[in-house]
Amino acid sequence: MTALSTTPLSFPVPAAPSVWPASAVAAPGGDVSVGGVSLTELAGRYGTPAYVVDEAEVRARAAAWRRALPDAEVVYAAKAFLCRAMVDWMEEEGLGLDVCSAGELELAASRGFPADRIVLHGNAKSPHDLRTALRLGVGRIVIDSECEIARLAAHVPGPEAQQVMVRVLPGIEAGGHRKIRTGAEGQKFGLSIAEGDAEDAVARILGQPRLELTGLHTHLGSQIASPEPYTRAVRRVIAFMARIRDRYGITLPELDLGGGFAAAQLPGDPAPAPAAYGRRINDALVRACAEFDLPRPRLTVEPGRSIVAAAGVALYRVLSVKRTGGRVFAAVDGGMSDNPRPALYGARYTVRMVGRSADAPMRATSVVGRHCEAGDVLAESVELPEDLRPGDVLAVPASGAYQVSMASGYNLTGRPPVVAVAGGRSRLLMRREAFEDHLGRDVGL
């Protein structure tokens, strides 16, 4: 594939964070190129649905986080999207990895990723998760419940203690949807500071010689579009660190603020740059440590979506166009099996037709999936040409995070391929899931 002569795309709100990769440009014939490669050409070569990831965009956003917090440890939240290439890119950009399962751990290990730069957390780690973490020697394991303390300590092989952190609930409501708010009281994650659960866990860990408590971890939620909740979390967690010092005579050296930094899904969505978060978090940390007379702990942050969301573009082909009840429905060859986020969280996307020029007026169109669910809607009332027809290719930007990683095998349609683009070339990162893959798992004969 060769690079194209192109012009930049124009967006409704030029000053706002873009939902497209920086390399996205308008190409002849109504096409769009990303990373110097035609999206229409990619749809033809790899089929649809397919996911395109701009490698340069991923690397640039990872580097932006490193610059925003040069004295902090930046670890990529692997649950947003993980494959072997992503592991390599994060290592090469100097980031660590935040993982939630033995599977993510093993994938990182398969690429030789340094285990001491891996953080394992999750509200319900299985015995297999913990054994794998200990076998591979991960840097820190985040304790999310008191049940994990004795279970983990019993399996530490020694002679060195396993470094752990405690995930605390600071009692802060933040996040773009109630299902992705994880820092408030009364939900499944973490241990409450206010109710004393976090302090009980600290005391128990300090009584386990095979565990070394290195710090506290918190995670407020996802799609947090302001630094302000992080500044409040810093003060509350530093205050708790001071209480631990006063009661147990130990000064914890690490603070992990988690992730949740917003990425724009629609043009005009608020999504502060990493530097904006970094400045406010650093200022809050300096003030809180001065207030409570604590040395500044080593800071860790866990961006995921804000690194990969805008780097991804989903490609679909229109299967049918239906006009009924005064509405237009464009059904495509994917849906909730490759992107369950609209059904789960009410996530919204913009959609652009690529591959042909259209002089027809634009009309509000609902892009719907192929599955037997009324809720299988990818994008409600987006502006698409009135002459949209079967065979047209639709591109959905801001599709790099939590889509492929949450994809399912619903209706045995097969999960889509993932294609990386860079420098005018494409390469397959993950192949399309075939029927033979399903058949290989079905051993019931």
Task: List residues with catalytic annotation.
Answer: 372
- The structure tokens listed for 46 are 């790899």
- Sequence-distant (6+) residues with CB within 8 A of 122 are 100, 101, 129, 142, 144
Radius of gyration of the chain (CA): 23
What is the dihedral angle through the alpha carbons of 242, 248, 254, 260, rounded to the nearest 10 degrees? -70
Alpha helices in 164-272 (DSSP H): 197-206, 228-248
Torsion of CA 182, 188, 127, 401, to 10 degrees: -30
Beta strand 37-38 with 31-34 is antiparallel
Distance (Å, whole) CA 76 – CA 391: 37
- Pairing state between β 362-368 and 377-385: antiparallel
Give the number of other CB atoms < 10 A from CB of residue 55. Answer: 20
Q: Quick one: which H or E segment has residue 322?
A: strand 312-324
CB atoms within 10 A of CB 93: 18
